[in-house]
A and B are shown apart, each in its own frame.
Chain A
Amino acid sequence: MPSSNLLVFDCGAAHLSGGVFTVEKDGGLRLESHASEELLANSSDEKSWGSALGEAVTRVMSRVNYEGSECVITVPGHLALTKFVKTPAVEHSKRDRIVQFEASQNIPYPLNEVAWDYAEVADDGVDVELMLSAVKRDALDELCAVFKQAGLVVTGIEPGGLAAIRAWRTAPGRIQDSSLVVDVGAKSTQLLFVGRDNFFMRTLPFGGNLATQLLAKKLSCELTEAESLKRELSEGGRANDSGRQALIDEAVMEFTSRLQAELTRSIFSYSRHTEAETPEEIVLMGGESRLPDLRRRIAESTALSTRSLDVIADLELRRANGDEAGDDSLLALAGLAQSHFANEGVAMNLLPVERQAEQGALRARPWWLAAVALLILALQPPIIYLQLTASRHVERSQVLHAELGPLIMWDARNRKNLEQIESLRERLGMLSEIEQRSERWTSFLADMQSRLESVGDVWLESMIILPISPLSSDTEEGAPLRLGLSGKLLDIENPTTKASSASRERVNQLLQSFGESKYVQDISAGGFDKSQPGILKFELTIVINEEEAL
């Protein structure tokens, strides 16, 4: 997803143009702001070009309204090497290896010393025409460093010619299907053959600086003076001195002738390509294309319709401030913006892969940081929630523990004391039982005595504790106490009668009385002896009540 606005720069040998583009809802480009600066550099000094470019970048940045940090730039023609090669049409997966081979063959430098890329110009199914472009890495690094000093990050580099071709192929003002755009720069001149289905580009190793040098030579003056004179001529000025004007005309004629020759040769050469379409018009552009009579002479020599680029009209570029003024570099700037926003047309990026990766990494870094921060932060709420909840439980537990502590202590004491009470109660019960039983024999005998007295004239002669019968199921501890009693009953009223009815009645009375005793559980008569008149001997067995154990 491209950013909403884009800063693009067209770097030339003698100028720098910068523009901020946005894309409108209908997909059309809109130029938000634009600035162009001349490079104040000695044309013969390569090193001063970099510093001049840096100053120009700063000036341009001060004039355009851009808050971002990324930009896309063109590389000037004199720094870029462009080759068109044909390779067999192979699968795309194998194409990179073939292109790699072609690059190594056609780029006259070790590939690790250049930044290079390619673009497919045409593919007829048999052959693929490729455009190879390369820039020396040190030059590219210097170029990137210049922009970096201005606080910009270069995210794309493209040959200016290719950008111009892309813009021109879609330019509404393009009248003919096939045209030749001649971009006359300071140090080089680019010939852009733009057809319906293909294009070709050739860089001539001379530009407006050649005219300057010729002027300086003819007039025997400094290059700066010759440059100023050239600019005056371009704006329609003439020398006051007719001799001097003649020398100037000669210099311009010499430059124009050389350009004419190269154009003618290039057109002828291009026309020999099988797929080539002969240009139907020539469009002149570039700061050095305004030399006097240049357009007329080219038209005469090539016999083609020749005109200067009217960038505003040809591109129908929408502008934010309504300013209709513009320079020819807008063509390349528009081409860069098209590639960025619409991602259409043939494009390449000379920015080394590792730098692209770095840019990608730089772009991705905030997202990664955000993702990591989000991940880290995402775990914080549950941790905090769990800890808060746990601390609430701890607080409640402490309260409960504080309340429970005394209760547990009292409960433990109560339990211990209750156990002690139970033990004491048990002991008390046993002691009470012992106390009661220790006196029970006396009470039992007193009870028997009173019952005998209630019957009257009866006494006991013996009392023995009967042993536990071997046949009994009772155990020794559980066996009730059995007493064997024997005694006599005196029948005073019938002293001569043996076992009178009165005696029988009194015996029964005695048995009943004994049976009613709380000490007696059971009573049984063992036998009677009536042999003696008036005396009835009896034997009894009583079982002692277990609840009143003796």
Chain B
Amino acid sequence: MKALYSNRGFKVAQIVAGVVVLLEGVALFLSYASLQKEELRERNLSRDFRSMSQVSPSPSEAVARSVKADVAAYEGEVLCLEAALSGGAIAKELDEEAVPRERTDAYFDLVSYTERLRTMARRHAVQIEMEESFGFSEYAKEGPAKKLIGKVFRERQILERALSLLLMSNPARLTLVERSAGSDSEEWEEQTRLSLAVDGVVKTDFVRVEFSGETANLRSWLNRLGQSRLPVSVRSIEVAPEKSIASGNTSRRSNSSLLLTSELPETNPLVARLPSVFTVVLEILEIVPLSEEEDQ
């Protein structure tokens, strides 16, 4: 046997056989590893397949098409509502007006705005302050910064229409128009809890309008505002008898209005009809487009 072991051919055969067996061992191991891997893969795929059959909604082309249709329907509803809140036809009208390009242009745009409202106030016999700038007092001597031109112009457009409607409602006196964008933010803190602003949905700015008159003037204005579809929302209404805030002032009319009233006896007035001072806070709505929200 020793001769067998020392035989060169046998040694070569031994080495070859050893290498073959080794290779077979490696092949066996690799085959086993491959089998394990493929078993696991199949098991995972089977599990995924089973879980897919339990997924709701069912993953099929028909269902996907239906879901896509639902998306389109919701998008339609959202766009429709956004268009409504943005003013609908008014929004288009507002968009068509040319935005001033320079501060000077913006300044003169505001001057024109003031003049137009003053003229209108005179026409409707509404008392206003001599220097009334209808919410843009900070721009009485210069136009807005260039980056604010667009925003101020938009507010001017909306405010002009809202105040025009107020003037058309014939209040006795327009005492205050104040924008949150142009005043100290602390004054508006109380309003923020009533705000409709929602991040990514609606951006807002407040405008406080104070006027004196009768309930009918308020009602008329609110109705006109509602019908105008302007992108504004009434956020608060406060009422006080005119005497309490304007003591000593003489009412323009002897039969001053009340805030809310039932049918009052006209022949036997137990109570003198005093005008009321209405403080209405409007919120100018600016819808954040859906695409802009997604970008955020």
Q: Which residues of A contact B (CB under 8 A)?
A: 354, 357-358, 360-361, 364-365, 368-369, 372, 375-376, 379-380, 382-383, 386-387, 389-390, 393-394, 396-397, 400-401, 403-404, 406-411, 413-414, 417-418, 420-421, 424-425, 427-428, 430-432, 434-435, 437-439, 441-442, 445, 448-449, 452-453, 455-465, 467, 476-477, 479, 481, 487-488, 490, 492, 495, 534-535, 550
Contact = CB atoms under 8 A, between A and B. Distances in A.
15 contacts: A360-B1, A361-B10, A379-B27, A390-B34, A410-B59, A411-B59, A417-B67, A420-B71, A427-B78, A430-B202, A445-B222, A490-B270, A495-B270, A535-B271, A550-B235
A390 B38 contact: yes
B262 A458 contact: yes
B260 A460 contact: yes
B3 A413 contact: no
B270 to A, nearest CB: 6
A421 B201 contact: no
Contact of A376 (B17, B67, B77): B17
Contact of B1 (A357, A411, A425, A434): A357
A524 to B, nearest CB: 19
Contacts of B17: 372, 375-376
Contacts of A492: 265
B204 to A, nearest CB: 9
Contact of A434 (B71, B196, B234, B264): B196
B266 to A, nearest CB: 13
A421 B71 contact: yes
A448 B260 CA distance: 8
B27 A445 contact: no
Contact of B260 (A380, A437, A445): A445
B1 A441 contact: no
B84 to A, nearest CB: 7
B190 A467 contact: yes
A40 to B, nearest CB: 37
Contacts of B240: 461-462, 464
B207 interface: no
DSSP majority for the A interface?
helix
Given A452-B262, A479-B193, A490-B270, A441 B236 contact: yes
B142 to A, nearest CB: 34
B7 interface: yes
A357 B2 contact: yes
B4 A397 contact: no
Given A372-B13, A449-B260, A488 B45 contact: no
Nearest to A491: B270
B194 interface: yes
A422 B265 CA distance: 56
B112 interface: no
A397 B38 contact: yes
Contacts of A386: 28, 31-32, 34-35
Nearest to A444: B237
Contacts of B48: 400, 404, 408
B45 A401 contact: yes
Contact of A490 (B42, B81, B271): B271
A435 B84 contact: yes
Interface string B54-90: 0101011101100110110011011001101100000
Contacts of B236: 441, 465, 550
B269 to A, nearest CB: 10
B25 interface: yes
A448 B259 CA distance: 11
Contacts of A364: 1, 4
Interface residues of B, number: 86
B21 interface: yes
B192 to A, nearest CB: 8
Given A442-B222, A481-B194, A421 B276 contact: no
B258 interface: yes
B238 interface: yes
A354 B4 CA distance: 10
B262 A456 contact: yes
B3 A358 contact: yes
B239 interface: yes
B196 A463 contact: no
Interface string B195-229: 01010011000000000000000110011001000
Given A393-B41, A414-B64, A445-B222, A408 B57 contact: no
A381 to B, nearest CB: 10
- Among A364, A409, A445, A456, chain B packs the most CB atoms within 10 A around the CB of A445
Nearest to B196: A434
A400 B71 contact: no
B156 to A, nearest CB: 21
B119 interface: no
- Among A368, A393, A477, A550, chain B packs the most CB atoms within 10 A around the CB of A393
Contacts of A380: 24
A438 to B, nearest CB: 3
Given A417-B67, A452-B262, A460-B259, 20 more contacts: A361-B10, A376-B20, A376-B24, A382-B31, A383-B27, A383-B28, A386-B35, A393-B38, A404-B45, A417-B70, A434-B85, A441-B234, A449-B260, A457-B265, A459-B258, A459-B264, A460-B239, A464-B238, A487-B260, A495-B270
Contacts of A400: 42, 45-46, 48-49
A406 to B, nearest CB: 8
Contacts of B85: 431, 434-435, 438
A445 B238 CA distance: 11
Contacts of B239: 460-464
Given A435-B84, A456-B263, A463-B238, A357 B31 contact: no
Nearest to B24: A379
- Among A394, A427, A455, chain B packs the most CB atoms within 10 A around the CB of A427
A408 B64 CA distance: 11
Contacts of A413: 64, 67-68
B196 A379 contact: no
Contacts of A442: 222-223, 226, 234
B27 to A, nearest CB: 5
